[in-house]
Every structure is written in structure tokens, then in C-alpha cells.
Amino acid sequence: MSVLGLSPKTFESYGRHIAAISLHFGRTPLELSADDVQEYLYELQNRSKTPSQTYFKHTVYSLRFLLKNEGLPYDHLLLPAIKRENKLPVVLSKEEVWRMICTAQYLKHRILISMIYGCGLRCFEVRNVRLRDLDFDRECLHVVQGKGKKDRYVPLSKHMIRGLKTYIEAEKPQHWLFNGQPNGGTDNCYSQRAVQWVVKQAAKAAGILKDVHVHTLRHTFATHLLEDGLDIVTVKDLMGHERIETTMEYLHVARNNPHRAFSPIDTLFEQCARKQK
């Protein structure tokens, strides 16, 4: 996994699932029969009234990786196909994003939310922004080693730059833009849990009933850019997507089509109101 450049998070996840099935049977998955694996997966699905589909999927993914690494086909253990959920992302309105930024309690939190939304950053990307990644003269942020070990540049709004300068002057971070320790320190960036908490609290304070996560702001970034008229290829590059098909998902959410669908109740009200007059 290290040689292939997989992330530490993937390394930990796959290792944990392979260890779990190995401990369950007292031998490695490569020594198991297809029936053993089917029985184990069945137990996972029926372990509780609400089994974790994420845990189940990651177990299958880790077994797939193990087989692939050994040059064995997936049907060696009769691994099931994992259907991709066809869910559209939750997207906020501009008014909702604005409320989140305004109701966040601290300047640090307001800048954090603004960075995620304004630059379309993933959680680990915003946590790992360093002061040297900010280029105020060229008005851009250098996202270093994002998903897939790829760098990219994203624009920094003039409003964002003003806010960042105010924040840096007040908080005086030394290395990471968002330190995990209140008084500086160069060894700890903001934790994933802390970022998630900030976003959740801001959404709650703003009175937003939608299920808001850190990635919701990234979805909203892409959707708002499309609605504002930016072409999809540029949006793909700003998001750091490898495939255009991933970005095209946002076309189903963006409301920038001049012939977009409408409700018949609108025309019903218009026609009936005219007749009554």
C-alpha cells in the first residue's frame, strides 16, 4: 500500500478490516474458502438492527485489495459487487452559507468555513494549509498533495484575503494556518474532529435543518460556480477531480438552466388568478 501511494487513512482502514476477519477465523483471508467469507459477510449484515453499510463496504474493498495484490480474481472468494449509491449531494443556498459564516462564534471559525466554501477544500486539505501556501499577490492558494497526491491552485477572493490578513494578524499562526493549539505551535494542525465540530455548530447556530457536513461546503462551492456560469472543465480542475464524470454530478443540482423544470402549481395559480380577475 505504501509503494502504491495509498493514504495513511486507507492503510489503516484496510489493515483494520483484514485484521478483523483474520482474528475471527484464526487465519488469513487467503486461507479461507469462499463459503467462509460469505458467512462472515452475512454476519456483518445481520450483526445489529442497523448494520453499518460503510463497515461492510470497506471490508469488501480491503478483501478486493488483498486478492488483487496476490494476483487473484475477485470471484476467488465470491466477493459481492458493491452498488454505487445514486445520491445527489446536499447543497446550501448562498444565504445559508452567509448565515453560517456570520453566526460562527470566533474569527478563526469564520475564516475556516470561508476557506472550505470559498476554495472548495476537502477536510484534510483545509487542515493542512500552511502559511507559505497562501499567495496574496497572485490571489491564489496552493493546495499541496490533495486527493490522489495531486497539487492544484485555487483562486483566493479579495474578500477572503482581507479576512485572512486580519486573522493572521490577530492569531499569529506560525506554520499551519489553523493550529491545533491555541497559542501557536508548529507541530499540530487543526484536528479533523475540530473542523467537523466547527461546521456542525455553525450550521446549527444558523438554523439550517439540512444535514450539513464539511463536504457539504465543497459540494456547494462546485454547484454555486456552475450556477454563476463557470464552465464545467474549470470547475473540475478547481475541485481536483480526476474524471469529468465526477464533476458532472453537480449539473443535476445546479439551477442555472434557462429551461429548468418548474412546478405546475405556478402556472395553475397564474391562470386561475387571471380568470378570477
Known catalytic residues? 122, 147, 215, 218, 241, 250
Residue whose cell numbers read 459564516: 101
Q: What is the distance between the alpha carbons of residues 2 and 13, in angstroms, rounded to a whole number? A: 13
Q: For residue 261, give the 3-state DSSP assignment.
A: coil
State the cell numbers at 45: 449484515
Q: Are strands 134-135 and 179-181 parallel, antiparallel or unpaired?
A: unpaired
- Tell me how far apart the terminal alpha carbons of the chain are, to the nearest angstrom: 72
Q: To which H or E segment does residue 38 belong?
A: helix 34-45
State the cell numbers at 254: 445546479
Q: To which H or E segment does residue 165 belong?
A: helix 158-171
